[in-house]
Structures are given as C-alpha cells and as structure tokens.
Amino acid sequence: MIRAMSTKSRRQFLRSGAALAVPAGGWVAQGGSQPPNFIVLFADDMGYGDLACYGSPTIRTPNLDRMAEEGTRFTSFYAAAPVCTPSRVGLLTGRYPVRAGQPNNTGPDTVGGLPLSEILLPRVLKARGYKTMAIGKWHLGFQPGEYLPTSRGFDAWFGLPYSNDMIPPWVKTNRPLHLYRNADAVEEVSEQSDLTPRYTDEAMRFIKSSRDNPFFLYLPYSMPHLPVSAPERMRGRSRGGLYGDVIETLDWSVGEILRTLKDQGLDGNTMVVFASDNGPWHNLPPRMLAQGVEPWHAGSKSLLRGAKGTTYEGGQRVPGIVRWPGVVRARQVSMDMASTLDLFPTIVRAAGASPPADRVYDGADLMPLLRDGQPSPRSHFYYCLGKTLEAVREGPWKYRFARGRGEDGPSQDAPLPELFHLDWDPAERHNLYDRHRDRGNRLAARMKEFAEEIRAGLSA
C-alpha cells in the first residue's frame, strides 16, 4: 500500500517496483493452468451483524457461513466510504474516493460521475484476456453513456444505474427506474422483489458461458437497500422479518453461485469475495417512511456505534469474506485491518497483471494474509465522509475529529477530539483522548498530512 509520504519518497517507491511486483503468471490453483477467476459479491446497506457467522440471532445464512468456514472471515473489514457511490469508487479503483474525484453519491438527474480518467479493475483484467461482467447496481454515473459499465471495462452489464429508492415517493425525480442491458434501458422497474433472483440467473449464465476463459464477475446487489422486498417464495421464512427474508434471499443467491462454480468445475480456481458497501441505514430521513417502509427494515451493526453516513465503526466496518479452495486458508478468522480498497491490488496481482504506474493506490495486496496467514499489510485506514476526512485508524487506535453526526442526524455542536482503542472498545463508548493526548495529537497530525495529500477537508 502506498501510504501518506513525501512526493520524493513516493517517486522512489514507484521506481523501485515494490508497488507493482507480480508473480510471473498470477496465482493458479494446484493442478490448474488457466488464470484464476474472480467474483465480487457486494451487498447494499447490509450491516456488520446481519449474517449468522457475524452473530445474527435470527437470520439464517448457511451458504455465507459455509463460505466463511471454507475461507477467511475478517472482523475488521472496511468499506471505502459510509455511503453508496464512493464506496463503489474505492472498490473498483483501489483509491480513496476523494483521491479518485467522486466522494459523493450520484443520482437519477446527475450528469457525469466517476471521472473518466479513473481506470477500473475490469479494464486492467481485460488486458490479461479476462471476460468481464457487472450485474446489479452501478451508481457511478450513467449519462452520458461514457459513464456506463460497458464503457469502463465491463464487456456486459445487467442492472440498475443507481439505488432502488431513487424514484417517487422517496426521491423527487421525473425519471423512471429502468433495468439496463449493456448501454440500453430495456425495462421499467415496478416490482423489485425479483431483482435478486434475476441477478442470480444472469450470474449463473455468465459463469457457464465463461468457463473456458478467465473471468471477472462483479455483482453489486440492490438489496437490502430500502425499500426492501423479497420474492414470494422467500417471504415469511425468516425470524428476522421482511429484512431477514431479504438477507436470506441474498444467502440463497450466494449458494446458487457457489453451486454453479462447483458444477462447472471452476470451484478450485475462483476467488469469491463477499462484502457490504456500508453499514445499515439506521439514520434514515423521514422521506423514506412511505409505501410500507418501516424503520426496522434496516439491519444490525451488532455492538458497533454509528450507521450508514457516519464515520463511526457502524458506518464502514462491514462483513468481509474471501473464499478460494486450495489457495485461501480455510477456517481463518483475521482480526487485522483490511478494506475493499485492497481488493484491486489483490485481484490484479493474483491475475498476474500490473496496476497502472501513473497513479497512487491506497490498497494493499492481501494474498500473503489470505494464503499464508501473515499479518495484514494494512497499518492505517482513513475514514472520509464526502470531501471531509474525519478519522484515522492506526493499529487498534482510532482518532476521530468530526462534527457530531449520530444515528439521530447531524449535531450543531463543535467537534471534539475522540480517541478509541478498537480492540478493547469496538463499540467506541470510551473516549481515551484525555489519557493519551500525545497519541491522539500524533494521529491528528497524520490526518492533516493525508488530507493535504488527497485534497480533503477537515472538520472545523
């Protein structure tokens, strides 16, 4: 990972080749000859505590639990941002959203999106001969067409251009919500309960049709973003209510995808990642409480503080599971830091490709951890909300300086320095700044330096 450093040091680092080193042919499973496949499954607004393997007492997720048992499960895995668009920016570019030029959400009336100068993960993989497809919610810009997935490195796309709530009565817009097939709007969406099954069918078809080529499948689900809905056959099954039905439908989808990989003989040569884009929407605005949407149609952040739209842990610490039989260690639980920012360099390196050398990346290659159980290469993580850098984590210590924004909305109080030890206090209940001012002030200085590097603001 290229951390905050002087311009001279960064140039030396890049020239040394340390950031670009790759194995000769990428990682290949034992006995395999074809480059590995990659599948990234990305839930929308799913909380840290929504899976059984992360402690849910009422939601059954046997397929994701099995995926964790057969791979590595992270307990300190971070989305790149606490809201939808910038979170996707971080995953697909390997760069903090502020650095990449898209730190805020886009919407149905937005013109433009993620800057066209940004190079996305599928484009790098295509140069290695990969087939690529996106299925599900895009949310990185859709007009003009240069911002669509099929212009950003994906061979094909089926899904929604943005969040499923961006229609009346939840959002003021005159634009209908359409499903897209590649660059064309092909169907107006009036019923959302079948979105997850349709995405799953598309994913299975893509896997089957790509079995003779290395492939990259990116599946950002539309659920469980509000308004939640589940197919009729899945309703009323979960003790977690409608929200539980939605999560159990996602788990069914994961099971179908894993089964397809096994049936096609691809199981041992495919890395599958599951994560969420941010925490649950507990601080939802009143506009969302319409047409049957209830406050309890959001998930759980377990014992974590905060929620979607905040830089407390509940906003960005999410489930993170990686499975690759024969390569990624099974039954491994890592308490080290990792992030969706790390998926770009991890996948690129595993594919035997090289990231473009003309830009700074914020991710680190996780393969030594995943394969060999080594410590995480990530020593720091920076928490941004929009264009504002609000917190930094170094090891177990997290320093936060932000205008208050809890689950009940923003506060008008002046920001106060907060310092938490996340190993002792993952719920961020005990502010230790007064006891450890030197440490807090050092992290504050580091935050200021990094804000200057990525051209972010600081709270005042």
400-404 own/partner pairs: CB under 8 Å, 24+ apart: 400/311, 400/312, 401/444, 401/447, 401/458, 401/459, 402/311, 402/459, 403/459
What are the structure tokens assigned to 105, written together? Answer: 């959400």
Q: Residue 340 and residue 326: Cα distance in Å, rounded? A: 22
Total residues belonging to the chain: 460
SS3 247: helix
**Exposed/middle/buried for residue 392 (C-beta within 10 Å: 0-12, 13-18, 19+):** buried
The residue from 84, 225, 282, 297 that is catalytic is 84
Cis geometry, peptide bond prior to residue 227 (ω within 30 degrees of 0): yes
**Distant-in-sequence, close-in-space partners of 299: CB < 8 Å, separation ≥ 6:** 45, 46, 47, 49, 50, 224, 243, 247, 279, 280
Q: Residue 56 and residue 260: Cα distance in Å, rounded? A: 27
Report which secondary-structure segment, H or E, holds 420. strand 416-421
Q: Residue 399 and residue 440: Cα distance in Å, rounded? A: 6
Exposure string of 345-375, with b = 16+ CB inside 10 Å and e = fewer, is bbbbbbbbbbbeeebbbbbbbbbebbbeeee
Q: Residue 313 and residue 398: Cα distance in Å, rounded? A: 10
Angle separating helix axes 62-69 and 241-263, nearest 10 degrees: 50
Strand partners, 273: 40, 322
Cis geometry, peptide bond prior to residue 396 (ω within 30 degrees of 0): no
In this structure, how many other beta carbons lie within 10 angstroms of the beta carbon of residue 230? 28
- DSSP, residue by residue, 186-212: EEE-S--TTHHHHHHHHHHHHHHHTTT
SS3 215: strand
The residue from 139, 225, 282, 297 that is catalytic is 139
Give the pairing type, strands 416-421 and 380-385.
unpaired
- Give the helix ranges, DSSP H, for 306-390: 313-316, 343-350, 367-372
Confirm if 114 and 417 have CB atoms less than 8 A apart. Answer: no
Instruction: Tell me if residue 84 is catalytic.
Output: yes
What are the structure tokens assigned to 72, written together? Answer: 């590595």
Instruction: Tell me if residue 384 is catalytic.
Output: no
List residues with catalytic annotation.
84, 139
